[in-house]
A and B are shown apart, each in its own frame.
Chain A
Amino acid sequence: MSETLLFDRRWIARGAERASTLRFLLWLFPWMLLLLLGIYAAGLCFYYGLNQTNMDNRFAFGMWIFLDLAIIAMGAGAFFTGFLVYILKQKDLKPVLNSAVVVGLTCYSGAIAVLMVDVGQPLRAWFTFWYPNTHSMLTEVTFCISCYLLVLILEYIPVVLRNRQLRKIPSFLVFEHQLHKLVPVLAGVGAFLSFFHQGSLGGLYGVLRGRPFVYRQGFGIWPSTFFLFILSAVAVGPSFLILVTAAAEKVTGRQLVQPTVFRKLGFISGVLLAVYVAAKAVDTYVWLNITSPSVGFGPSDYYSYWPMSSTFLFAATVPLGLLPALLLILPYTARRRGWLLTGAALACAGVLLNRFVFTVQTLALPTLPFDEFLRYTPSWQEVATFGGVIAYGVIVYSLSYRYLPLFEAAKGVDKNVSLD
């Protein structure tokens, strides 16, 4: 059976080419399994407790916190694209905006879901709102991420309501119209919130004076990692968006956006990545020569453990920092899809490495002189939950692509709508 079932066809936009129902279900099936496995693993953690993981008193943060930081950095493409389109008026990026919103929504909702499994008492999550400690970076993160998730939901609702069947309900279409008019406001709020929480995730570590590996001087109450994390997030957001869109093009077998959109996103990503690498180099110099020695910690305390030695620092700076920046900026490589995608992938890998170094390596490194370097391997429950989040993202994106106008191409959307 290779045709699309009529029941299914009705929900797909008129004239849109989509895979047959069976092929779509076959595509979804392994991701659903992965999602179910993730839910089961999370269920075990809820039922039995966090002893189901391999985290311990020394590795209080593990793979999930790394996942959270990484996923939120990748999801920065959502707010940043909105900022570019609505605030900086870069209208030629509009075709990827809906897709960016879906990526952002799945990244942030996935991160929050994992966070709920990660904390010992998820039912007490509201305590942070009720007794907030305004000095804590984690409070800031919690507040901003919650608000930003609301913003993303409000930005996603219009996309959902433009589904072919849902838009037939007049109240839905009218509400979509009114909400869509206010999207620039949401984009502005989203940019404001994202600036703070991307930064606060860096601030989480930069304020830890008990961990000289990550402790940084800063400006006012904000350590340098606050600004570096914002920079790296806006640098990697567009690259991740390129990768997701390219993957969607590969899976669906059709061109979804003009290559110029990829090039523009790549260029922005490359420039920001270059600025980030420069800023990081300055920061590393200051840290290794001034901040860290002032508390008695020197480079050998961080970099004499193989393989987590200076190779990580080098890797983050050059092959996963400067190199992708060049690939994304220089016309020769940026014009060629293969090089552009490589640059984007390397940029993402670089930021992933950076988040890993901050979350896992920080805890591996000893602080007390008589401690040794520690190791940690995530348990299958942790890996399965990680996989479940990725599966969740793929499933939501796939459903959104199939049934919603994610890539509205050259149609004159809403251009002619007015009320006399």
Chain B
Amino acid sequence: MSARYGMVIDLDRCTGCGSCMVACAAENNVPPPVPRATPRTGLTPMLVRKLSNGKDGADLREAFIPITCMQCEHETPCVSVCPQQAVEVDKSTGIVMQIPQRCLGCRYCMTACPYHARYFNWWDPQWPPGMEKSLNPGVSVRMRGVVEKCNLCHARFHTANEKAAAAGKTQIDPADYVPACVEACPTGAILFGDLADANDPVSTAAHSPDAFRLLARIGTEPKIHYRTTQAWIRTLADKNSDRPTEAQHV
């Protein structure tokens, strides 16, 4: 049975601490940025952004929203545009996979992604002496000139599979497959699981009336959901919506 791994991120719980970003970088062997790097040339497969309702004084409201690859399900924009099939959707997990060894670095997928969730290696990766000892052996290092993005810590899924296989099981134990950002979040704002499994808490959360997705009207069917009780945040989910986004089918 194929899974559809996704997330529901609770924006009422997100404090903007950035632990998810750090954990992601550590897990995925993201090199430290060079001195010349800017927020627009950095490698941040998980990126926490700040939202504001734009008002003054006591009416001002701010929140934080972690942005990552939305794992789009329907006519995935980056999959159809890659000229050499370096991006494909893994049918058994629903994860949008990037093959860095096949990537030409044309960056067409980056243009296609409406969530700007793809990042380019503008520099060769360099670690200060000694820091290479902290590299995760389960994740390959990418050289400059290729695109990368969040793949829901697929290496951890791989490890969970190996563990299950060693124990003679055909299905992984959900507790064994937890992405780094989920694990690191101190408030437990990120809920991760199999959206196809009706018993999985993430599936229930995604169906809740508080849940929404970014740019749902474009129709890419992202598997990363958000939830919040604050209506002003939901109006920022879609362009020109002065009402909360209708719950899309999940």
Direct touching of A and B (C-beta under 8 Å): yes
Closest to A208 in B: B112
With A119-B106, A120-B104 as known contacts, state yes or no: A209 contacts B218, CB within 8 Å: yes
Q: Is B217 located at the chain interface by the 8 A CB criterion?
A: yes
B137-153 interface code vs A (CB 8 A; 1 in, 0 out): 00000001111000000
Instruction: Tell me, in angstroms, the Cα distance from A133 to B171 when the chains sit together.
Output: 32
Per-position binary interface string of chain A over residues 203-214, scored 1 when its CB falls under 8 Å from any chain B CB and 0 otherwise: 010011111100
B36 at the interface (CB under 8 A from A): yes
| B108 neighbours in A (Cβ, 8 Å) | 136, 138, 204
Collect the chain A residues with CB atoms within 8 Å of residue B237's CB.
Answer: 369
Q: How far is the CB of A203 from chain B (nearest CB, A)?
A: 10
Q: Are A51's CB and B241's CB within 8 A?
A: no
The smallest beta-carbon distance between B103 and chain A, in angstroms, is 7
Residues 88-135 of A contacting B (Cβ, < 8 Å): 118-121, 124-125, 127-128, 130-133, 135
Q: Which residues of A contact B38 (CB under 8 A)?
A: 56
Residue from B80, B145, B218, B220 in contact with A121 in the complex, judged by beta carbons closer than 8 Å: B145
B95 is an interface residue with CB less than 8 A from chain A: no
B116 and A58 contacting across the interface, CB-CB below 8 Å: yes
For the complex formed, measure the closest distance between the CB of A287 and the CB atoms of chain B, giving whole angstroms: 15
Option from A57, A295, A362 in Cβ contact (under 8 Å) with B218: A295
Q: A119 near B105 (CB under 8 angstroms)?
A: yes
Q: Which of A282-326 contact B (CB under 8 A)?
A: 294-298, 301
CB within 8 Å of A: which B206-235 residues: 214-215, 217-220, 235
The A contact surface, by secondary structure, is loop
User: Which B12-65 residues have a C-beta within 8 angstroms of A?
Assistant: 34, 36, 38, 40-42, 49, 51-52, 65
Q: Is the CB of A295 within 8 A of B123?
A: no
* B116, A212: Cβ atoms closer than 8 Å: no
- Determine whether A50 belongs to the interface, using a CB cutoff of 8 Å to chain B: yes
| Chain B residue total in the interface (Cβ 8 A) | 57
Residue of A nearest to B122 (CB): A51
Among B3-11, B82-90, B157-165, B185-193, the stretch in contact with A:
B82-90
Q: Is B200 an interface residue (CB 8 A)?
A: no
A131 vs B103: C-alpha distance when bound (angstroms)? 11
Nearest Cβ on chain B to A201's Cβ, whole angstroms: 12
What CA separation (Å) do A121 and B38 show in the bound complex? 22
* Pairwise interchain contact A211-B40, C-beta atoms closer than 8 A: no
| Cα separation A133 to B144 with both chains bound (whole Å) | 23
Encode contact with B along A359-392: 1 for CB under 8 Å, 0 otherwise. 0001100011111000000000000000000000
Interface residues of A in 218-249 (CB under 8 A from B): none
Cross-interface CB contact of A60 among B42, B120, B145, cutoff 8 Å: B120
Task: Report A380 CB to chain B, min CB distance, Å.
Answer: 15
In the complex, the answer to whether A138 meets B240 with C-beta atoms within 8 Å is no
Inter-chain contact A212/B218, CB cutoff 8 Å:
yes
Q: In whole angstroms, how far apart are the Cα atoms of A297 and B118 in the complex?
A: 22
> Beyond A128-B104, A296-B238, A301-B240, is A49–B122 a contact (Cβ under 8 Å)?
yes
Determine if A298 and B119 form an interchain contact, defined as CB atoms under 8 angstroms apart. no
Residue among A60, A61, A142 making CB contact with B83, cutoff 8 Å: A142
Interface residues in B72-108 (C-beta closer than 8 Å to A): 75, 77, 80-86, 102-108
User: Closest chain B residue to A369 by CB distance?
Assistant: B236
A127, A137, A212 — most chain B CB neighbours (10 Å):
A127
- Cα A127 to Cα B100 with chains together (Å): 12
Does A139 interact with chain B (Cβ within 8 Å)?
yes
* A-binding residues in B (CB < 8 A): 34, 36, 38, 40-42, 49, 51-52, 65, 75, 77, 80-86, 102-108, 110-116, 118-124, 144-147, 214-215, 217-220, 235-241
